[in-house]
Chain A
Amino acid sequence: GQQVMQIPQYQHVQEGEDFTTYCNSSTTLSNIQWYKQRPGGHPVFLIQLVKSGEVKKQKRLTFQFGEAKKNSSLHITATQTTDVGTYFCAGRGSGTYKYIFGTGTRLKVLA
């Protein structure tokens, strides 16, 4: 079945440094979503990417969908302590509404 992996599993950065998490699917995706989950909270939707090669920006966050629609990345510029949390990608295969979540990347930002 479809598998979605993320790397790295953990990342500790100094405040102000950049951060990137990578998401790789075993199958071609129809679209991909990114979520942020704070400790003790539920996943909060960040963005959805649909088109091959698509790039979207939200302030300091840049999201990219690969040309083959099998991978994606989330890049945070100049991290802040408020960026702490676990970032998940969730990919949807063709012909289904099911989203399979990636393994997640836990980000810690040191002040």
Chain B
Amino acid sequence: GAVVSQHPSRVICKSGTSVKIECRSLDFQATTMFWYRQFPKQSLMLMATSNEGSKATYEQGVEKDKFLINHASLTLSTLTVTSAHPEDSSFYICSAPDNAADTQYFGPGTRLTVL
């Protein structure tokens, strides 16, 4: 089936630094990708919708200046956590809908730890 990759799988950074996470659809094009965040033992919370060629749409309560999203091509979306703080430590997961299959595929996730 279709595959979505994420890089890196794990990242540890110091407080105040920025971290970029990449999400790629490997064998299909995705004009839209979704970014989720999952805290331990909680559900996945939709953060934003990444749109190729236009601005991302953020869910209520998500700071767009804090979480920068760029959908550079039909197969790549990036999420940059700017000026990361320990409370940003979480599991970040992207997904991409495959319109032809009417479903969505999740990446393997990126575990961010901010010291």
Contacts and interface: CB of A to CB of B under 8 A. Distances in A.
A97 B109 contact: no
B43 A103 contact: yes
B34 interface: yes
Nearest to A33: B103
Contacts of B95: 99
A44 B46 CA distance: 17
B44 interface: yes
Contact of A43 (B44, B49, B60, B103): B44
Contacts of B45: 101
Contacts of A97: 32, 34, 49, 97, 99, 104
Interface residues of B, number: 23
A99 B104 contact: yes
Please classify how large the interface on chain A is, using the bins under 10, 10 to 19, 20 to 34, 35 or more: 20 to 34
Nearest to B93: A42
Contacts of A103: 43
Nearest to A103: B43
B8 interface: no
Interface in B13-67: 32, 34, 36, 41-46, 49, 60
Nearest to A1: B60
A7 interface: no
Q: Among A31, A43, A48, A88, which residue has the most Cβ atoms of chain B within 10 A?
A: A43
Interface of B: 32, 34, 36, 41-46, 49, 60, 93, 95, 97, 99, 102-109
